[in-house]
Each structure stands twice: as C-alpha cells, then as structure tokens.
Amino acid sequence: MTTSLGVQQNSSRIPTQTKFIAFEGLDGSGKSTLIQNYRAYLEAEGLKVYLTREPGGTPLGEELRNTLLSIKKNANFKISARAELLLYEASRAQHVDQIIRPKLLAGEVVLCDRFTASSVAFQAGGRALRTGDVEWLNQFAVDQCRPDVQVFIDLTYEECQRRKQGMNQPLDRLESEKAEFHNSVYQSYKQQIEIDPEGWIVLDGHLEPQLILQRLVQDLKKYWE
C-alpha cells in the first residue's frame, strides 16, 4: 500500500496506515513549530509518531551534524561541496537503516525534519553541484525508502530573515551563507515542486501556526485514505 518502503510495499507485514512525511523549507520558515504541532495532532488522534531530523537522527548522524553545522575556527578546516554532500548522504543512509525503515515497519508514523529534497536544494541549488549527481546519491542513501509526501513551508529568504531579526541566535555554517545561496536554495525547492506537484504539499508560511496546521491536516487527508 504505502510507497515509503519501496520494493517492500506489498508486504503484508507493513501496516497500511504507515506514513513517512518529510518537512522542507528555508531556515526560519517555521518548520520545527509545524512539525511539533502536527505531531501533537496525530498523537491526539491515537497514532504512534516518531519525530526525527536530518542531518542527525542516529548517534552517527548527530556526530556528522556537529561537523556539518559547526563553524570551525581553524582556517584549514574546510568542507568541499562534494564532501559536504557525501556527509549528508552518509547521515541519511544510517538514518534510513537504523531508524526510519524499522519505525515504518513497526507501524509508526515518521515525521522527518528535512530529507532528500534538502540535498537537492542546498547542494545542487545552493552549492551548484549537478542535480543528477545529488539525485543518484539520494537514491543510493534511501535504498527505496521514500517519503509518501513532502511538505514545503513557503517563505522566502528575505521573509525568514525578517522573522529572525532580534532573535540574536548564533548562526551555523549553512545559515552564515550569503543571501544568494539561500535564494538559490529557495528556487530549487520551487523547481522540485513544479516538476512533481503531486508529491508535495505547499503551505503559505505567512499564516499563523495554527492555521498552517489546519491546512496541513486538510491537505494530508487524501494521503491517509
């Protein structure tokens, strides 16, 4: 029934309500708030929900996350665009094998803060690596375990920046990139959605959090049938 487990999707062992949903958007778009709210909603409906994130989600993934996001003071510490992509993919492969697939097989709903579309957006869009290369590595890493649907919170870089103003939080390695980088990431998301509109739910990031949740619940109904 479900598409999230690829070749195993016809296995009678997999509960049909199993769902794998990935959340995407720019830094500061309100993704984390929405995921938390949606988790609470599903749990109130009696579903078992597992919330996870990329990079990260496993002990290895969290180690890689520290490397990927921290800004090392040592000027010799650099990550090339290809190496960066491979680290994200290594985190993803571990995440699928150790967490996502087992949770889906156990009948849990998996909500993932970022997944493969982030690599296309940030490493192909932002870093200008070839989209085909990123897509191939994504396929290799997920090993047929794909989200049933991807959710994009639509808010431009400028708008995300405006929201963050006054928060005074330290920026991580990716957040420190220039506006041009983030605008390319945003454009890449838009292209991905244009190519595969059926695979995405797009939510207006300007709306109040509770309204965004309502829209998500409404739009996701068809995936729960």
Q: Exactly one of 119, 150, 188, 192 binds ligand TYD (CB under 6 A); which one?
A: 119
Of 119 and 184, the one with the shorter C-beta distance to ligand TYD is: 119
- Give the H or E element holding residue 22: strand 20-24
Which residues make beta-bridge pairs with 32?
none
> Can residue 24 be called a binding residue for ligand TYD (CB under 6 A)?
no
> Can residue 4 be called a binding residue for ligand TYD (CB under 6 A)?
no
Number of residues that bind ligand TYD (CB under 6 A): 16
Q: Exactly one of 95, 113, 150, 213 binds ligand TYD (CB under 6 A); which one?
A: 113
What is the token pair recorded at 154? 């639509």
What is the token pair recorded at 82? 């290809």
Say if CB 81 and CB 127 are below 8 A apart: yes
> Can residue 88 be called a binding residue for ligand TYD (CB under 6 A)?
yes
Q: Dihedral, CA atoms, 8, 198, 27, 185, nearest 10 degrees?
A: 100
Of 46 and 132, the one with the shorter C-beta distance to ligand TYD is: 132
Say if CB 102 and CB 145 are below 8 A apart: no
Q: In whole angstroms, how close is the CB of 113 to ligand TYD at the nearest point?
A: 6
Helix (DSSP H) and strand (DSSP E) numbers for the chain:
9, 5
Q: Which residues bind ligand TYD (CB under 6 A)?
A: 27, 31-32, 53-55, 69, 88, 113-114, 118-119, 122-123, 172, 174
